[in-house]
Structure 1
Amino acid sequence: MKEIEVCPSTLAQGFDTYSPAARKVLFDGKMVSPHLAEPSPSTDSPEAKEAIKKISRISLSGVQPKFAVVLDQNNQLRYARNEERGTYILKPRPNAYHILNKEYCAANEHLTMQIAAQAYGIETAANGLCFFANDEAAYLTRRFDVHTDGKYQQEDFAALMGYTKSNGGSDYKYCNASYEDCAEMIRRYVKAAPIDVLSFFRLILFNFIILNDDAHLKNFSLIDRGGEYRLSPAYDLINTSLHLVQSRIFALDKGLFKEGMKLVDTHQVGRTDFEEFGKRIGLPQRVIKKEIDRFAQENSLAKELINRSFLSDALKKQYWLSYDYRRKMLNL
């Protein structure tokens, strides 16, 4: 059984299971074990094959399998079956041959989400790690679009812009828009647009310094939980440089601006680009400066979270060095 010395959600020290703070946001305070009785899909065992026949696979987008999960009456996490509505999403390790360090994908996403929430104050989907019997880690996140009586209305930015595979091509979520276009969707559909545009600006800055180059159109959403649309909590945040041979700067081909950006190497992106981006999406100059300064500074809590994470020692070092390099670029 996987030995745990920090909370597998908040990464707080001195816990061998989920901390009270983690249980509150993930499980409404219920005592839930991070150890899963269900078999890992990656084992390809007869037990795993039999279990997967009965469960609901949410999607197989790209290389990341996602499974619907519920918390049963015994406070055990298990795969959702038949027509059950999953209240959690489980991401086991991917099996694609071209993904590096695939056994640490879950730990990476979990760490990145925690850094976003704790170190930078970004609203994120509640999340944590859980572990199969073979000690393999899986990423667990609570669905923010599901409530007791059903689902909240949620639209990702690809849908808001009207892009699908049929009219936008196989790479429709990457090649048809810029982050400036995304901000326009917020201004078009959100009454409290100034608040959410600022949140979006922070999220783009975070994705840049954390090397998340998979922040495509479907990884941003508007959600209606109280009679009006707001920017949804952040989700699917990960340092992709740990898993890809050739990572990018921005997920969207056009980058920050509607007309696109000429990007040859990372040295061509810096503070002035984000200053111009903030200006274009309607933020005051003093706010732009304050936010860029904050993301450009070394964040001691981020470093602590990296060191307490479930990454290997080598990947912790790689994560920190890549993140530290990128945040310093905001000073250029």
Structure 2
Amino acid sequence: MQRPLALNGLVYSKDNSLTYFIKRFDRIGHNKKLALEDFAQLSGEDRHTKYKSSMENVLAIIEQFCTFPKIEFVKLFKLTLFNFLVGNEDMHLKNFSLITRDRKISISPAYDLLNTIAQKNTKEEIALPLKGKKNNLITNDFLKYFAVEKLGLNQKVIDGIVQEFHQIITEWRKLVGFSFLSQQMQEKYLQLLEQRCKRLNF
């Protein structure tokens, strides 16, 4: 998937425990800071109200502020599919951001992309409702309603994105197996991935 990600990884600490790190992407060198605003700030919400929105509002923010919103809509669609497939139901407003580089405003590199459903008991499938719902989402909610009706993507673009996912899902399964997750967590992760792929006919 050609989706910019914030540089991140795991390093061993002195006590031999693993520590997660993420490199700041709003800095150039030691002194220059890039303008970065999350979608909670842009919509007048805060950390206490970061779930009080919708995916439709997310695309409205992109349309309002981004220099080339149509390009960003493709990124948003990929990110939305990814989060659903891997079970990230914590993609709230503060996990979307816009960054300004060379006078161009675009979606920032993605961050906080993880499987949250396998780690806790949750009754929701996504953090921000799509088509008024957070559960029981089906293929048409993503590929017809969101991609076509709301984002205005043409069928060729949609088919290309779906094909990208088809090609990469096998690699995802391998990566889960190579991860530091326990055997039990790996099984839960893969089980969820299989369920979501079937839901979307991937």
Shared fold (TM-score, shorter chain, > 0.5): yes
CA-atom RMSD, angstroms? 1.9
2:50 aligned partner: 173
> 3-state DSSP class of the match of 1:237?
coil
2:38 maps to which of 147, 152, 156: 156
2:13 maps to which of 132, 151, 166: 132
| Pair 1:126–1:210, CA change in 2 (3 A) | same
Distance, in Å, in 2 between the alignment partners of 1:160 and 1:308 is 38
In the TM superposition, 1:285-300 aligns within 5 A as 285-295=155-165, 299-300=169-170
Paired residue type of 2:23: R
1:233 aligned partner: 109
Does 2:76 correspond to 1:200? Answer: yes
Distance, in Å, in 1 between the alignment partners of 2:198 and 2:160 is 15
Measure how far apart 1:243 and its partner are.
1.6
In the TM superposition, 1:217-232 aligns within 5 A as 217-232=93-108
1:88 aligned partner: none
Judge conservation of contact 1:271–1:292 (CA < 8 Å) in 2: no
- Decide which structure has the larger Cα Rg and report it: 1
In the TM superposition, 1:241-260 aligns within 5 A as 241-252=117-128, 255-257=129-131, 260=132
> 3-state DSSP class of the match of 2:165?
helix
Judge conservation of contact 1:298–1:324 (CA < 8 Å) in 2: no
2:147 aligned partner: 278
Does 2:79 correspond to 1:210? Answer: no
Measure how far apart 1:146 and its partner are.
1.3
Cα deviation, 1:113-134, whole Å, max 9, x if unaligned, reads xxxxxxx222100011012233
Cα deviation, 1:267-293, whole Å, max 9, x if unaligned, reads x21111012111212211332243245
1:307 aligned partner: 177
| Pair 1:316–1:224, CA change in 2 (3 A) | same
Distance, in Å, in 1 between the alignment partners of 2:171 and 2:51 is 32
Equivalent pairs counted in the alignment come to 199
> 3-state DSSP class of the match of 1:286?
helix
1:146 aligned partner: 27
Judge conservation of contact 1:240–1:247 (CA < 8 Å) in 2: no
Cα deviation, 1:177-211, whole Å, max 9, x if unaligned, reads 21121111111111221111100110000000000
> 3-state DSSP class of the match of 1:129?
strand
Identity fraction in percent = 35
Does 2:191 correspond to 1:321? Answer: yes
> 3-state DSSP class of the match of 1:173?
coil
Measure how far apart 1:294 and its partner are.
4.0
In the TM superposition, 1:114-129 aligns within 5 A as 120-129=1-10
Measure how far apart 1:150 and its partner are.
2.8
Deviation beyond 4 Å, 4+ runs, structure 1: none
With CA pairs under 8 Å and 6+ residues apart, which has the higher RCO, 1 or 2? Answer: 2
1:68 aligned partner: none
Paired residue type of 1:301: E
> 3-state DSSP class of the match of 2:36?
strand
> 3-state DSSP class of the match of 2:50?
helix
Distance, in Å, in 2 between the alignment partners of 1:220 and 1:198 is 14
Paired residue type of 2:9: G
- Alignment TM-score, normalising by the size of structure 1: 0.56
Judge conservation of contact 1:174–1:217 (CA < 8 Å) in 2: yes
Measure how far apart 1:244 and its partner are.
1.1
Paired residue type of 1:287: V
Q: Which runs of 5+ in 2 are unaligned?
A: none
> 3-state DSSP class of the match of 1:124?
coil
| Pair 1:226–1:128, CA change in 2 (3 A) | same
